[in-house]
Amino acid sequence: MSKKITALTPDQEQLLPQIRDGWLDAGLSTRPANWHDAALGIHAAYLAAGLRPPRIIIRVASPWAGVFARAIAPEIIACHFDLVGDQVGAQVDDQVGAQVDDQVRAQVDDQVRAQVRDQVYAQVRAQVDDQVRDQVYAQVYAQVYAQVRAQVDDQVRAQVDDQVRAQVDDQVYAQVDDQVRAQVYDQVRAQVDDQVGDQVRDQVGAQVRAQVDDQVRAQVDDQVRAQVDDQVRAQVDDQVRAQVDDQVYAQVDDQVGDQVYAQVRAQVYAQVGDQVRAQVGAQVYAQVDDQVYAQVGAQVRAQVRDQVRAQVRDQVGAQVDDQVRDQVGAQVDAQVRAQVYAQVRAQVRDQVDAQVRERLPNWWDGRMLGQHWAAYYSYYYTMGQLGVTECRRLAGQMLTALSAGWWWCYQDFAIVTDRPAELHRDAQGRLHRAGGMAVRYRDGWGFYAWHGIRLPADLFETGVPSLERILKQPNSEVRRCAIEMTGWDRLERELGDPVATAADPGNPGRQLALYDVPDGLYETPVRLVLMTNGSPDRSGAERRYGETVPADIDDPLAAQAWAYGVPRSAYAALQRRT
């Protein structure tokens, strides 16, 4: 056994904040996914776990779309291979020409038939589930299907098979290592983030801990069998449809000639559609989940992690371990996992629970968090830099985390999701945005948040909500956040008569007004001062806004003085406000 690393050199210590910033950048990134690198990383991650890489990697725009894609992909893949093989294989061959290797295709077909279809598709035949024959399914289905077909064609041409695995292994590793290294260092240079948030983690930790045990819930639900919600389907449908039309079909057009396309469409797509749509059911999902999903996920994730961890334990002393955790992992964790990931996950979980729980159970199985595991990877990345060679086994996962959002790993296929297009946070790193979604993905899925509190989207869909509507929200924290997000100025007319008004010193012609706040918003008794900015904003508009003060203050000048922590006399003597 090699000698333990028990202290960091000055150079290594200097490296820690740089690595931290590099991973923070990845974890909070809103750049479009680098699909190529993400796929490369996924291949390497499977290989590192001793598994054959997936033949099919399906891209979707958001975690929410991923939840659907993971559920329906197995049937589509199975049917596709099945029908291509049996019905139109020969015709596709003619069109594509001599590039297609019969042997490879046959092998792919055989393997897929053996491993996916036999487990999954046989079950499908026994099932008729009317509920699944709906638009959500049809749309996601079309998207996944198109991607599967394009990729199968590519892969057959490229002749990827088991026999070259050993070769691929070495090449992928070398490439992945180089890319991970290059990316982290590029990002390090571009980043300055002097925010440290241990206290932030504590705040949000409470939210995370409060969450209900997902597994228990899903089990209970299996027996409950809720009704399908039409509205939900329509909503998801809209989100997915735009993507399908704009992206997928364009891609298919690029890759497949018109003639082949029409032929395949008529002979495969239509038939697969009829058969699959009618035949997918809850039991199939459960079966797939139990037998395939969890195993691959556990292997890629836990097994590799355990091995890497064991070597870190052997080779790194406790003190260095603590130092890396404190200076790299904990800080990335506080911002990425505790703030962003916890909220995205909670939103997906709530939506699944409220809308499609029974049809999409176990959506978390096989899930890898990609960029949201930045903290976890930052720790092992650092250990790798300190010389723990086993950390290379995580290089594939790291590359994917540097390139994309969540992903799901299953036998023979993977789902990978884009990063968000927008991510807005407050000074403490909590998700926060006035006037729009705090997190928004490129398919439009996302959610509103105010200082780390998620708010229901329907509250804002029809513009500025009324005071009455806000006060009807069942959760007091949501009420308070909704009102602050709306802006007190927009609600001033609904507040009734002010307790007192006064001219604002140093701000000629403008008034301060002190109001009582409607019941049910704050635990602490507060009053509200409404004031007007001393300078118009860049649009030339004069902005009026409200701030809350202790309720025992009954004079607007005293309220402002309290806010600045100065005597009333000092505020009253204000000579100029800008």
Partner 1 sequence: MSMTYSEALALSHVSLPEHLEAEAEVPVLSGPQAQGDLIIVPVSQAYEGIEQTPFWPQGKILPLEGVQVVHGEATGNTHWLHAGFNSPGVSWHRADRDLVIGVVTVPAGQSAMLVHTDEHGANGIAPGTYEIRQKRELADEIRYVED
Enumerate binding residues for partner 1 (CB under 8 A): 195, 424-427, 432, 480, 484, 506-507, 522-524, 526, 533-538, 540, 547-550, 563-567, 569-571, 573-578
Report the C-alpha dihedral over residues 133, 134, 140, 142, rounded to 10 degrees. Answer: 60
Q: CA dihedral in degrees (175, 181, 186, 192; nearest 10)?
A: 150
Residue 197 near residue 337, CB atoms below 8 Å: no
CB nearer to partner 1: give 159 or 533.
533
Nearer to partner 1, 234 or 573 (CB): 573
For residues 56 and 73, the answer to whether their CB atoms sit within 8 Å is: yes
User: Which CB, 185 or 564, lies closer to partner 1?
Assistant: 564
Q: How far is the CB of 451 from partner 1 (least distance, A)?
A: 8
Minimum Å distance from CB 272 to partner 1?
49
Task: Report CA-CA distances (Å) from 112 to 54, 80, 82, 127, 165.
Answer: 11, 10, 8, 21, 17
Structure tokens at 29: 């990134």
Minimum CB distance to partner 1, residue 434 (Å): 9
Both tokens of residue 64?
Answer: 């929410």
Residue type, 5: I
Rounded to the nearest 5 degrees, what angle is found at the Cα of 456, between the Cα atoms of 454 and 461?
130
Q: How far is the CB of 207 from partner 1 (least distance, A)?
A: 15
The contacts of residue 296 (CB under 8 Å, 6+ apart) are: 51, 366, 409, 410, 411
To partner 1, the closest distance from the beta carbon of 435 in angstroms equals: 12
The least CB distance from residue 526 to partner 1, in Å, is 5
d(CA 25, CA 336): 10
Whether 487 and 434 have beta carbons less than 8 Å apart is answered as yes
Please say which residue, 112 or 517, places its beta carbon nearer to partner 1. Answer: 517
**C-beta of 197: minimal distance to partner 1 in Å?**
11
Cα Rg of the chain, angstroms: 28
Contact between residue 508 and residue 550 where contact means Cβ atoms under 8 Å apart: no
Closest distance to partner 1 from the beta carbon of 536 (Å): 5
Least spacing, CB of residue 553 vs partner 1, in Å: 10
Cβ closest to partner 1, residue 335 vs residue 351: 335
Q: Write the CA distances from 177 to 167, 182, 255, 511, integer angstroms.
A: 16, 9, 30, 63
Looking at beta carbons only, is 24 or 112 nearer to partner 1? Answer: 24
Q: Which residue in the block uniquely carries the two structure tokens 């009053």?
A: 527
